[in-house]
Chain A
């Protein structure tokens, strides 16, 4: 692409143009589908954002991470805590809004990434996997140590910052019990999920109780059911007549998906420039031969730490988006399962390709749905239905590692290379 245009910054411009076109197309798609599809798009974009970081960390710099879900938790919690407690931006004094929380989540991600990267750069192979596994298990549990600030096991509810006049300040949260007020449609009124209904990624993926699309269309307060997919009684409940607070044409899922798409595109732009530029070469050089890289004047330690920091930045952004999709943060939402699915998605999609991250995101959202539809046809029991996606993930990973180590994207590249009889190109 860049070989045609050779002026300073050509690469930057072509990447920007590419990302803007993709953003425009996906936003158009987002506006033309129903809220359930909006919701799926939001999840795919959120996964893709996190997995851009995985591609850089695992694919390019060669550091296996089982803990990027924990880094997402950092972003999610920073978003939740800052948006719940801060009315103005410290020092600047300007009113707080959701974008500030996103910025702080990103900064938090980078800081934590630098810290962990500094340790991780000294470890390799199984030891690095061990460290990151510890993160995946340990970080979400920190919430339990600070129940006042972080909400403990039951997590924190947060009000989705409605886009009245842009990305408006977050209203103060109001906790109510999940009975009558839930249906009032007031944006600041949220159902508190019961302990067993705490949202886990699996719940979010299978979405067995997601309200039918007709019921949720044009209903502004449908986010109440999004945060609490365990509440079976939510579907089919008549939610009409609740549009007094905001425009009835406002669809929260569509807005959430738009946010997720925008963040994913920003992340994609950053990632494209890093991966295809000099930093990408540095990462791959250190991964393939750190001695050769060192004697070529590259610091392997710096390269490894920077990969961690970038990956952590993307994970934190994804976590902040996730928090807004769920209107909730909690230890269950950012558990080991999430970390593992990020790794699975990236391995399946193609671990050294940004396109692979998007494909991985699609797979992570689509596969559980596919299993669900199979189970409905086959009349499987709940036990099988709930565990089948994990089984299939496991099988797929084993198969991909054995038969197609480059994942979907790598295999397609190999195929193209065979057909055109040219050596496969680097990422």
Chain B
């Protein structure tokens, strides 16, 4: 279980996050939605250790993960799929996957890799091809697969729908849903694409200008018209 308590992050005088509290139980998908500049990416980057928070903390199964180095946080069981996918273009699919679990025992890594191929058959087909020959959707699967290679307890997804066709977005988000159901990983998902995200999430969190406006079951958030108009702009 990932618990975020009172997390505050500022970039100089600008407060990007202000007292954010979220908990993500295992096997559940929590979608954080909000407009541009709401602090969604900052939240992800802070949890992954790329940004140091000014106050508050986050714990994974009771262990504090904030104010640690990114590579140590990965070892503690938090894996981030960064915005824009960021697969390594020059490496093959398999090499990209291996990067995600370099620090693990070879045998463990093999098992996880087989699981990832089960989950994303397209990666198995393309394992010897360079990552820059993949389509956007395939690359997103590769990025998620690479994150899974660290055998995480908690997966952070930063805008997985960015730049993908609507059909592919639905596919990817369904895969994420399956992932949470089957592996009991806690998934924290950040999305601008609120409709699709809320349709498959368990819990919805609406973030605006660094503050949480509303937390609740995803269907309730999706059907709250006032909320939609005020913060999500549709």
Report yes or no: B130 in contact with A295, Cβ–Cβ below 8 A.
Answer: no
B133 within 8 A of A: yes
Report yes or no: B86 in contact with A423, Cβ–Cβ below 8 A.
Answer: no
Report yes or no: B80 in contact with A295, Cβ–Cβ below 8 A.
Answer: yes
With A288-B89, A426-B90, A426-B130 as given contacts, are A296 and B50 in contact (CB-CB < 8 Å)?
A: no
* A46-76 contacts to B (CB < 8 Å): none
Report yes or no: A426 in contact with B133, Cβ–Cβ below 8 A.
Answer: no
Report yes or no: B129 in contact with A281, Cβ–Cβ below 8 A.
Answer: no
A179 to chain B, nearest CB (A): 59
With A296-B150, A423-B130 as given contacts, are A282 and B102 in contact (CB-CB < 8 Å)?
A: yes
- From A285, A424, A426, A427, give the contact of B99 (CB < 8 A): A285
A32 within 8 A of B: no
The complex places the Cα of A181 from the Cα of B49 at a distance, in Å, of: 69
The complex places the Cα of A294 from the Cα of B82 at a distance, in Å, of: 10
With A295-B70, A296-B146, A297-B75 as given contacts, are A285 and B82 in contact (CB-CB < 8 Å)?
A: no
Chain B residues near A427 (CB, 8 Å)? 90
Closest to A282 in B: B102
Report yes or no: B90 in contact with A296, Cβ–Cβ below 8 A.
Answer: no
B40 to chain A, nearest CB (A): 16
B116 within 8 A of A: no
A298 within 8 A of B: yes
A284 within 8 A of B: yes
Contact with A along B77-106 (1 / 0, CB 8 A): 001111000111111100100111111000
Contact with A along B121-138 (1 / 0, CB 8 A): 000000001100100000
Closest to A286 in B: B88
The complex places the Cα of A424 from the Cα of B100 at a distance, in Å, of: 23
Report yes or no: B50 in contact with A426, Cβ–Cβ below 8 A.
Answer: no
* A192-218 contacts to B (CB < 8 Å): none
Report yes or no: B130 in contact with A297, Cβ–Cβ below 8 A.
Answer: no
Taking residues whose C-beta sits less than 8 angstroms from the other chain, chain B's interface range is: 20 to 34
- From B70, B91, B133, give the contact of A294 (CB < 8 A): B70
Closest to A288 in B: B88
Report yes or no: B71 in contact with A294, Cβ–Cβ below 8 A.
Answer: yes
A415 within 8 A of B: no
Closest to B86 in A: A292
- From A284, A299, A424, give the contact of B91 (CB < 8 A): A284
B179 within 8 A of A: no
B6 to chain A, nearest CB (A): 24
Report yes or no: B71 in contact with A299, Cβ–Cβ below 8 A.
Answer: yes
Report yes or no: B90 in contact with A284, Cβ–Cβ below 8 A.
Answer: yes
Chain A residues near B81 (CB, 8 Å)? 295
With A291-B50, A297-B75, A298-B71 as given contacts, are A423 and B89 in contact (CB-CB < 8 Å)?
A: no
A26 to chain B, nearest CB (A): 30
Most buried by A among B87, B91, B129: B91
A6 within 8 A of B: no
- From A289, A299, A424, give the contact of B88 (CB < 8 A): A289
The complex places the Cα of A426 from the Cα of B95 at a distance, in Å, of: 10
B96 to chain A, nearest CB (A): 8
Report yes or no: B133 in contact with A423, Cβ–Cβ below 8 A.
Answer: yes
Report yes or no: B50 in contact with A294, Cβ–Cβ below 8 A.
Answer: yes
A296 to chain B, nearest CB (A): 5
The complex places the Cα of A297 from the Cα of B80 at a distance, in Å, of: 10
A274 within 8 A of B: no
B186 within 8 A of A: no
Closest to A422 in B: B129
Closest to B89 in A: A288
With A294-B50, A294-B71, A295-B82 as given contacts, are A426 and B102 in contact (CB-CB < 8 Å)?
A: no
Report yes or no: B102 in contact with A278, Cβ–Cβ below 8 A.
Answer: yes
Closest to A284 in B: B90
> Interface residues, chain B, CB within 8 Å of chain A?
48-50, 69-71, 74-75, 79-82, 86-92, 95, 98-103, 129-130, 133, 143, 146-147, 149-150
Question: 14 extra interchain contacts, Cβ-Cβ under 8 A, other than A281-B95, A296-B99?
Answer: A284-B91, A288-B89, A289-B82, A291-B86, A292-B82, A295-B82, A296-B102, A297-B100, A297-B150, A298-B99, A298-B102, A423-B129, A424-B130, A426-B130
A-B CB contact pairs (8 Å), 8 listed = A281-B98, A282-B99, A289-B87, A294-B71, A296-B102, A297-B150, A298-B99, A426-B91
